[in-house]
Chains A and B, each alone.
Chain A
Amino acid sequence: MGNKQSIFTAQQLDAYQDCTYFTRKEILRLFYRYRDLAPQLVPLDYTRPDVKLPYELIGSMPELKDNPFRQRIAEVFSEDGQGNMTLDDFLDMFSVLSEMAPRDLKAYYAFKIYADFNNDDFICKSDLEKTLNKLTRNELTEDEVRMVCEKVIDEADLDNDGRLSLEDFQHMIVRAPEFLSTFHIRI
């Protein structure tokens, strides 16, 4: 394997290996996936690191296409917050969503995905309602949504301020053993 590729310099590849949970091969494979989304925009060697792919292309990937949270995911991991991703953001996203990322890291990003529908660093009731509607395709009645939101906040809110902070969220995730396997995209 080693040094037969000409996309990245050795140092860049090392940097990526140390900054993500991917191996050399996987980083190269991800680069090709990134490039396949828009071959005319992304050069074959890593000379223009600031190329940004628009959200529409990212959201059309088969792994993300049917995920109801894809827009939030792209917004959280993109630098500009709009969902337009550079290669760095792309690798970051799949690294956090890979098998090997630790639970705390995943919990941090999961919190941001669920929380900032209204950009306030907390999961408040309206954020929860939006999440629930995405989870059930808007098929719960309003009453049911309200009841479930109340129950969730009841269960998880430890400092009793009516909304969930990052600590509440992380404490609750510790008790969910299936979180690690569900917050995982295989690519």
Chain B
Amino acid sequence: QDLRSRPLPMSQRRALWQEQQKKVPVVSKGESWRRKNAKLLREGKEALKEILYFFSPWRKALQLIGGESWTRSAGQSSFLPFRHALIAGFVLVPSIVFRGSEGTGFPNLTGNTRAQDPVLLECMNYNPNPQGLVPFYTYILDVLLGTGFVELSYLFYGFYENTVVEDRNFYNIPLAYLLTAAFYFAFCLICIVVRSVWLGYAARVAVATGGQTGGEYSMIAFAGWDYGSLGDKETKLKQKNILYRLQVDLEEERLKNQAAALTLKQKVFLYSLRVLLLFLALGLIAAALFGIFQATQFSQKMSGREGIVGLLIQYLPSIVITAGNFVVPLLCDQIALLERYSPSVTIILALMRAVVLRLVGLGVLLFTLWTQVTCGGNPEEDDCRLCQYNYKLYQCWETRVGQEMYKLTVFDLLIAVATLVLVEFPRSRMVVDHSSNALVQKLGRQEFVIPSNVLVLVYGQTVVWTGALFCPLLPLINTVKFIILFYCKKITLFHNCRPALRTFRSTTSTFFFLVVLLFGWGLATTVMVYSVTAIHPSMSCGPFRFFDNMWLIVPATLYSLSDTSRDFLFFIGSQAFSIPLFILLCVVLCYFIALASVYGKTVRLLRTQLKLEGRDKQFLVKQIDALSKHLQIPTHRE
């Protein structure tokens, strides 16, 4: 039945179909049963497709928007419901259910004696509820800051009990908490890897058959026009886009030739200029990071203030981070004008700088928090000696870290909505449409630049991962934020922005963003592993109250398991198992690398052979021509 994949005119196809139908009468029972089944299956599939199409509201919107990188990153959020089910199922629901019940506190290793120690009782002092009468706006502030009634909710780490229910069903909440966090991270990693492998498949074809650089122009010429674009404006835009891409490619070619033709003196000058500007850019980034450091320290020290000033001080790190992420790339863009790299290198450099700024900025924030919580890692300092963490400033430090991440997320959302309302709408509606000022017209409508928008998404996801251990419902809040942002951006896209003229090649860019996402994930995992194993949990709150660090619950549980499972788990963790596994994985990796290089070589060989065949053919045809003229034999060639 592959009639339809044959490139014949329709009338011929139908004639062939008629003939096929005529030949059919004598058919075995099995054959006709199978054919009927195939037909039913096909109709079933059609019906199912229609139903599913109905249920995918995002798909239509995403297709409308059209940009590939945006849809890929937004498509990540299709995994979100599953992740939330994971968290909700394992941690949230049991906590709610078992909260009232008579769970016994986990038989702690250091014994209940610790709880009786009067000195340590001071460490367990924790009461985030405001005392006495509070002004009404405190509730709003609480939602914005994650304090007060929000703090004592399932949102933050501090609210979970360290109960282990033993009477009817055995459920170990602390262990569940830890393992859920670990599985969440592992699941995210698997999602990223699967997606990048799937992407790599598309890129693999290009790599095996001669690399990305072989075929840019022909790709643009023959696969560049989107036949599905509707409307006059969109067509004009696409044509401008293609024009721009071709001009950029030609320009790069010209620059390459120019660069190759520079004299030695000019080259030295250019390279030294570039090094200087690189240091300047690094200096700008370092200044921004220092600003973040100071802001975080200041904000944590002054965390007692009330009212609007208190709100501003609490949000100071977020404000500084956002301001830095806005100002520094602008300045770096100006620097890039002087550097005179080719356009594609400029774009990549700008993105790298933005990425470094964001991730390292987040890292600096976390580092500052760490120095304050653990007194710079020195447990002998005054503030930390008693409880091994700074209990004066932080009765419940995990909640505080969770609050910082929560504030970052909320602030991100607020700034995005505020920019939309206060900057983009006025800019397009009132200013551009009604003003005839030349400068204003030049600024024009906001360009929707896909790379920076995707970077914002990636950064938000990293913040969520870092905070997931301390603020279990943060992924849920992030989902809500994504949904709001999505619809906001959709509105702004269609009403206010004009599309960016400069495009970024979609497969490489998506791969790049996945790599950045992977880095973010690495940062979050480092933070999680460190806080689980090295920092003393708060004694006044949370499921890990009486442990020296959160990891200790795993060995404690393991000892209570039966002998065989314990031996099995110890064996898997031991060197006798992991080293051979590692060696095996290396061997498999080497095999695949070798296979890939062999295929690449084969393809290149076949291409040269094809070229030679063509030349042979031409040569023979010329010979035939010459001979036939010589012998005056009329040829049968057209």
Contacts and interface: CB of A to CB of B under 8 A. Distances in A.
Interface of A: 11, 15, 18-21, 23-25, 62-63, 66-69, 79, 88-89, 91-92, 95, 97, 101-102, 104-105, 108-110, 114, 128, 131-132, 135-137, 139-140, 144, 147-148, 151-152, 155-156, 158-161, 169, 172-179, 181-186
Given A15-B14, A108-B7, A135 B227 contact: no
Cβ-closest 9 pairs across A and B:
A159-B614, A88-B10, A179-B223, A176-B223, A66-B235, A92-B10, A136-B243, A151-B217, A108-B7
B615 interface: yes
Contacts of A91: 10
A160 B614 contact: yes
B487 interface: no
Interface of A is mostly: helix
Contacts of A179: 222-223
A137 B242 CA distance: 10
Given A23-B46, A158-B610, A182-B224, A172 B242 contact: no
Contacts of A160: 611, 614-615, 618
Nearest to B233: A66
B196 to A, nearest CB: 15
Given A156-B218, A161-B614, 16 more contacts: A15-B14, A21-B4, A24-B46, A62-B230, A66-B235, A135-B239, A136-B242, A137-B243, A148-B217, A152-B218, A158-B614, A159-B610, A174-B205, A176-B219, A179-B222, A185-B227
Contacts of A147: 250
B226 A182 contact: yes
A131 B221 contact: yes
A170 to B, nearest CB: 11
A173 B614 contact: no
Q: Which of A69, A128, A159, A184 counts the most B-chain CB atoms under 10 A from its CB?
A: A159
A91 B10 CA distance: 8
Interface of B is mostly: helix
Contacts of A155: 214-218
A19 B618 contact: no
Interface in B587-614: 607, 610-611, 613-614
Interface residues of B, number: 59
A117 to B, nearest CB: 14
A184 B228 CA distance: 6
A182 B7 contact: no
B149 interface: no
Interface string B1-30: 101111101110110011001000000000
B273 interface: no
A182 B247 contact: no
B236 interface: yes
Contacts of B215: 155-156, 172, 175-176
A41 B468 CA distance: 66
Interface in B486-542: 506-507
Contact of A19 (B10, B210, B219): B10
A144 B7 contact: no
A19 B13 contact: yes
A89 B243 CA distance: 33
B31 interface: no
Contacts of A23: 46
Interface in B242-268: 242-243, 246-247, 250
Contacts of A132: 221, 246
B202 A177 contact: yes
B483 to A, nearest CB: 26
B222 A109 contact: no
B230 A148 contact: no
A159 B246 contact: no
Nearest to A157: B614
A155 B220 CA distance: 12
B246 A178 contact: no
A173 B235 contact: no
B617 interface: yes
Contact of A175 (B18, B205, B217, B239): B205
B634 interface: no
Contacts of A20: 4
B130 interface: no
A62 to B, nearest CB: 6
Contacts of B230: 62-63, 66
Contacts of B234: 66
B563 interface: no
A91 to B, nearest CB: 7
B232 interface: yes
Contact of B9 (A11, A92, A136, A137): A92
Contacts of A156: 215, 218
30 contacts: A15-B14, A15-B17, A15-B18, A18-B3, A19-B13, A19-B17, A62-B230, A67-B229, A67-B235, A97-B227, A101-B5, A104-B5, A108-B7, A109-B7, A132-B221, A135-B243, A136-B242, A144-B250, A155-B215, A155-B217, A156-B215, A158-B611, A159-B615, A159-B617, A160-B611, A160-B618, A172-B218, A175-B215, A182-B225, A185-B228
Contacts of A79: 9, 11
Given A135-B221, A178-B506, A140 B246 contact: yes
B229 A135 contact: no
Given A15-B18, A19-B3, A104-B5, A69 B10 contact: no
Contacts of B617: 159
B209 interface: yes
